[in-house]
Amino acid sequence: MESRDKILDELWAIALLDNVITEDEATLLRAVEEQLDRFDLLVRSVDRAGGVDFEEFLRMRDARKQIFDYVLDKALADGKITDDERQLLVRIIEMLPLIR
């Protein structure tokens, strides 16, 4: 499972490939960080409960979907998705199943 910090580090590295962080990229990175912090709180509550039962599994699955939905809404807020945003969104889709 990927950690919050590792995911953010990788997304920042992708955003910095062209040596420029656009406003769109910064918005997405902030949105992902915010959502990963919320997901981390969920994971901690599950860990305190002593493990993942089916209900908690469903909550975590839904939380992963909400992360992407929230970030996608941020990307679409200006009516278009730039190539920079698309690169980040694709990697977010790839990483979401791995977060823990």
pLDDT in tens, 55-95: 888 888 899 999 999 999 999 999 999 999 999 999 999 99
* Upper half-sphere CA count for residue 37 (Cβ side, 13 Å): 6
Arithmetic mean of pLDDT over the chain: 90
pLDDT of residue 60: 86
pLDDT of residue 98: 77
User: Which tokens sit at 38?
Assistant: 């919320």
pLDDT of residue 90: 95
Cα 31 off chain centre by: 8
pTM of the model: 0.85
The three-class DSSP label of residue 81 is coil
